[in-house]
Chain A
Amino acid sequence: MTQQSSQEQELIRINYGTPRPYKWATGKYIGKLYKEAKENKQLVTNRCPQCKQLLWPPIAFCGRCKVDAGEDWVVMNQRGTVVQYTYLVVPMWDPHYGEKFANPYPTATIKLDDGAYLVSRLQEQDPEKLKVGMRVEAVWKEEGRGTGMGDVLYFRTIEE
């Protein structure tokens, strides 16, 4: 019986063993974000020379001003404020990796104190404690960095 059930599991987990031929380049600008996240646990981005807004993620051009964004790099404060949030009630899965998201998997749009907006996970798992305006701070993965924003494990709630 034990052997039979392990065979059933083998059928579900089909391992092709052949690498898929995708090669997604980060490019120069997002590449810098990846490098700083991996090596220094820093969130960096660049500022438009014309409108002076922080662009996010880093990019070569400011779409609004239609100018080269250039190399005015900023190391951002990793604290911010939640402006939008949601959480899963019905389990969802990631079809790329075949992984199910753990419920409630709260995610938020966060305004960093420097002004850039980004989307990340929240540490807080209790829906009752999720609020617009809650103050949060980035917590970094210790292992397996090199995945850009994926290097941020989540944003934890902070008291100020």
Chain B
Amino acid sequence: MGNRVAIVGIGQTYHKSNRPDVSQPEMVNEAVRAALADAQLEAKDIEASFLSNMETFEGIYLPDHGMADEIGAYMRSGLKVCTGGTSGASVVAEAFHYVAAGLFDVVMVTGFEKQDCGDTTAAITAACTPVWGKGVATGAIGEFAKQALTYMENSGSREEHAAMVRLKADRGACLNPYAHLKLGLKSIEEILASGYLVWPLRLLDFCPQSCGACALIYASESAAKKMAQKPVWIADVETVHQEPFRAGSFGDPTGLETYTQEVACERVYKRNGITDPIKDICMAELYEPSNWEELNLYERFHFCEKGEGWKLVEKGITEIEGAFPVNPSGGVIATNPIGATPTIRVAEAALQVRGDAGPHQVTRDVHTAMATALGGPNWTVLTLLKRSL
């Protein structure tokens, strides 16, 4: 695995639909400053910057242009990563590789998206040419709608179970000072009363478009020893990809495909001696664009048997005070600045390991946590974090 790498600084902006008060570089600067303050470092201490953002979501092709000064990266080494929805986790893995290889001792990872600049659905639709893939495009939501239907049919779950996931997310979001949607939802009925967008997905079943940024600072083992902040060790990273448009869908209605989530988690579990994921791992931050997808992911990551994901939420196992908390931050359904979304999963999991999550710190002691990412072109990226290696 190379040299050991620790996360020694974590910073986020608050999240909103619109940030007319700042330019994108100014917004990213807020997260960069927060991470530096958390690590008790200065910009001059960072050797390289690794960025994540979705090209064209802000209406321009190189959104990292004109940002070097604001993020303290002037004359630094580094690069930008764009792998679709997983970008913010691919950049976590990429920067890890550089430090693990011994090329740098202290680096910064920054994910960002300012979705009030552009048109996200236009950018997603423009991900495919009219030759193939554009087809009957209804944005990302149409795919997750079909997947929700298949999940319901196969598992015997009901809309109430998806509503329980939404309630859980909102409860976490209301405790999380950085979350975007804090709705104060009180009941399942309230969620089932929200209108359908694309059947069977309701308005409250899908993630928002957020503006925000998240920054992490990594240190090599030798550098981490001199740092003020408690280290959270990156125990493992894994990336698995596949072509999503063969079956015409994110999910696999064919039953022929192997899911990238299953391949990725099985590799991580094997390498790290994890035999019973929800006991050996203490909590997870999942990339769930919809509440239905969270139920699906419980099964794909082997948190339960197939067709039983909804039972985890019904029994309260994945609540903040449950035996295996999932997305105590409120998750993607509450906060979704796309290029930063997977970086936030890692940041939130790291805060839980450090015990610094604040009001949404889970009840269970977290010595190991997993952060996941999902995105076109059907990639899964996993990050496993530990308090000690």
Q: Chain A: residues with CB nearer than 8 A to chain B?
A: 24-27, 30, 53, 55-57, 63, 83-90, 92, 94-96, 101, 104-105, 107, 109, 111, 117-121, 127, 132, 147-150
Residues of A within 8 A of B122 (CB): 95-96
Whole-angstrom CA separation of A105 from B137 in the bound complex: 11
Q: Which secondary structure characterizes the binding site on chain B?
A: loop
Q: Which of B138, B153, B200 contacts A92 (CB 8 A)?
A: B138
Contact at B199–A86, with CB atoms within 8 Å?
Answer: yes
Whole-angstrom CA separation of A57 from B245 in the bound complex: 9
* B125 in contact (CB, < 8 A): yes
Residues of A within 8 A of B199 (CB): 86-89, 104, 127
Contact bitstring B270-292, A, C-beta under 8 A = 1, else 0: 00000000000000000000000
Q: Which of B130, B139, B249 contacts A96 (CB 8 A)?
A: B130
Contact at A89–B198, with CB atoms within 8 Å?
Answer: yes
Q: Which of B119, B132, B150, B198 contacts A88 (CB 8 A)?
A: B198
Residues of A within 8 A of B145 (CB): 86
Contact at B249–A56, with CB atoms within 8 Å?
Answer: no
Whole-angstrom CA separation of A43 from B130 in the bound complex: 18
Nearest A residue to B135 by beta-carbon distance?
A119
Nearest B residue to A83 by beta-carbon distance?
B253
Tally of contact residues, B, Cβ under 8 A: 38
* B1 in contact (CB, < 8 A): no
Q: Which of A25, A57, A89, A119 contacts B136 (CB 8 A)?
A: A119
Whole-angstrom CA separation of A119 from B137 in the bound complex: 10
- Other contacts beyond A84-B146, A117-B254, A119-B249: 12, CB < 8 A: A56-B246, A56-B247, A57-B246, A83-B253, A84-B147, A84-B251, A90-B196, A95-B126, A120-B135, A147-B130, A149-B135, A150-B135
Whole-angstrom CA separation of A150 from B199 in the bound complex: 23
Q: Chain B: residues with CB nearer than 8 A to chain A?
A: 119, 121-122, 125-126, 129-132, 134-139, 142, 145-147, 149-150, 153, 195-200, 242-243, 246-249, 251, 253-254, 256
Whole-angstrom CA separation of A140 from B272 in the bound complex: 54
Residues of B within 8 A of A27 (CB): 131
Contact at B198–A90, with CB atoms within 8 Å?
Answer: yes
Contact at A24–B129, with CB atoms within 8 Å?
Answer: yes
Contact at A84–B253, with CB atoms within 8 Å?
Answer: yes
Q: How far is the CB of A51 from chain B (nearest CB, A)?
A: 9
Whole-angstrom CA separation of A134 from B249 in the bound complex: 19
Q: Which of A89, A90, A109 contacts B146 (CB 8 A)?
A: A109
Q: B132, B139, B147: which has the most chain A beta carbons within 10 Å?
A: B132
**A26/B131 contact (C-beta < 8 A), A92-B139, A132-B153 known:** yes
The 30 listed contacts between A and B (C-beta, < 8 Å) are A24-B130, A25-B131, A27-B131, A63-B242, A63-B243, A63-B246, A83-B150, A85-B149, A86-B149, A86-B199, A88-B198, A89-B195, A90-B195, A94-B125, A94-B137, A95-B121, A95-B122, A101-B138, A109-B248, A109-B249, A109-B253, A117-B247, A117-B248, A117-B253, A118-B248, A119-B136, A119-B249, A132-B149, A148-B132, A150-B130
Residues of B within 8 A of A120 (CB): 135-136
Q: How far is the CB of B193 from chain A (nearest CB, A)?
A: 14
